[in-house]
Structure 1
Amino acid sequence: MLSIAKRYSRRVFQAGIAAGALAVAACQPTSIGDSGPAIGPQIDPGQPVQIALLVPGGTGNQDLDWLGRSLANSARMAAADADGAEIDLRVYTTTPAEASAVEAAEKAAAEGAKIIVGPLFADSANAVGNAIKDNNLNVLSFSNNTEIAGSNVFVLGNTFDNVADRLVSYGVGQGLRRFLMVYENDAAGQIGANAIQSAIAQNGATLSGRQEHALSQSSIDSIIPAVTQAAKGDQIDAIFMTANQQAVLPYLTDQLAEAGVTSREAQLMGLTRWDIPAARLQLPGVQGGWFALPDTSMQRQFTQRYRSAFGEAPHELGSLGYDGVAAVAALAGSGNRNAVNTIGLTRPAGFTGVNGVFRLRRDGTNERGMAVATINDGTVVVIDPAPRSFGRGFGF
């Protein structure tokens, strides 16, 4: 049977797209209206800006503690890089429990924090947002789950919506019009499927079919004939897979390849990083497939600096700590009194982070500039570079 292992002991936390799909929160905050009141205080840019950073620590989970360490170290780098602003960064460690995150946020608010960066998990971020709403503070969570976005909660993680829109829009530009969607029946698969379906509609393409599978070899095997028939019968131009669980992509693409379906018959593409882990690059089924990447040149520079400063590589999601602090520092450094409120945080020009340009939307979601990449003979090749600014071609 297909072995599916969750990285962390939350409902849906996974790797793959800079920040994997975080657990769906039960309570949804109200979205920010275009003309609604600004949330968050004004600051004196000439004074230190107090930022509270909520990261996991002391959890007993080696990978989770590494991520927490990476988030904190990356945030410290951003504070040190601040140009024209002084950042008073205070780090609070939390367990994965919602109550722990809320306790840390309330303590930070009492100690004078002007904004909360973190926490990691979506349900905790939602709870923190609700708990400190009366304190008039914004929360820049590390989640990528757009279902918690709104009111005073923003998501910094790269979202399925961003990836889906980037790949579909590029595909449409290359003449692909008919998409078949293949997705898991778990929570992240459903969220990913919704993102793909929305991207197809928004870009004027057609959803020609959908195939859902459980997290098992037998379930994946059961959909292969229908996918093969669609691809070989010239019914579709592309197959868009969520493949959000690490074991799914290798098995699914291998089974399709054995059935004679590769990117030559219908363009394969996916929501997750197909180059992580590196062993995936040698899989026959992924050759020629498309996936989205951050600005790799900026990412390499950051990794080199981080390794030199801290003696280890950063966690793949650790750079979100840099992005959150860097956004506030950029605003404060320019003398913007709205550096921690929704007026400043949602500026259309956005910010430059470790993974490239990004901006926060008024509804709490984000937009990130990404490259489109493929795999040729086991090598990653960027076929459409990441944009360096939010100019033409980006809606807000």
Structure 2
Amino acid sequence: MDTSESTTGRPDPEPEAPRRRGWRRWAMDTRPLRRPAYRRLWGSTVVTAVGSQLTAVAVPKQIYDITGSSAWVGAASLAGLVPLIVFALWGGAIADTMDRRRLLLITNTGIAVTSLLFWFQAFAGLESVAVLMVLLALQQAFWGLNAPARSASIARLVPADELPAANALGSTVMQTGQVAGPLLAGALIPVVGLPELYLVDALALCVTVWAVYRLPSLPPLTGATARRAGVKEIAAGFRYMWGHTVLLLSFLADIVAMVLGMPRALFPQLAAETYAPYGEGLALGLLFAAVPIGAVLGGLFSGTFSRARRHGWMVIGAVVVWGAAITGFGLSADLWVAVAFLAVAGIADMVSMVFRGAILLSAATDEMRGRMQGVFTVVVAGGPRLADVLHGTAGSAFGPRTAVAGGGLLVVAVMLLLAAAVPALRRYRV
């Protein structure tokens, strides 16, 4: 057995690493990767971050090829959202009642089988939107069950002082996948064809299953394996959240930032109107890529995260910077200035993700971490979709740039009001 992990998934203590000096103090903190269990979990994320994006591109592409309608593409997104919400909440409750390693094995296997079914229907030439939507709903259900257990496991694999670094490592990989995955999909489709994208994702998931298999057992620390995971347990998670203000505020901070300040629904209109002189295709690609690129840069230079102790202030500051950057984006008529503002917003989003995740893992007890991560999954998945509706409506009524700038200002105002009115978040520290 590796000496840096135990059979119960508790990280063994290690001597404190020497303080990094010079430019190294800004570089990404990779201490969690010295722990074999976390390294396996993170390594599986590296593989699937790109693979999952291949399927994320292939499904809407195939639906559009069959129907020629963007409305069907939007309907498919909704078909995936509903099971994601339901099963993320349920999956969080399950993650608090059973060995999380076992749950990860079951759900990752389910996602891999679903990817194989995606490949089979494309290879067989079924051309059925109904089949695609059912498979998408099934895939998102498995992912909803998987995500809370995966996130909640991190606190059992690394010590508390390394949680921000672990979250930064994971978030950077996911954001990198959001940039590299679609680019790779675009390059592969003309060469190997659409069905093979699903097959590559399925093969990548086999690597994930093997990595999870090699994790230590992660049973509930309180011996809660006999407890059911039903509506009562889900409701208990919400009561727990309402009783812990700092957890509630960490969710509200993300809702404020995403619902009021995520303008991606207006990117096509801005590319076609405001930034048309630069080339509509170029402008659209840059607008969609700018936030993930900024987030990756924020992760690469996240070395200072591990030294921060006032996690609440880090979240507040990050959300305010996000809102200010989105405001600047809305006011920018020059494409490159607009992209720069979006990249700054991406850096702020990375900081917010890292410290909100650290708060959830450190402020919640282990028997509640799964349910809190279930709510977190719902908020992260649902917020941008609500923002699409809000910004699309506001953009039609007031114009896209006004809607974007106004949303950014609202983010700043609402976040500062929340921080002033409820001191729990700004007072929270490790």
TM-score by length of 1: 0.27
Which structure has greater strand proportion?
A: 1
Structure with more contact order per residue of length (Cα contacts < 8 Å, sep ≥ 6): 2
TM-score by length of 2: 0.25
Which structure has greater helix proportion?
A: 2
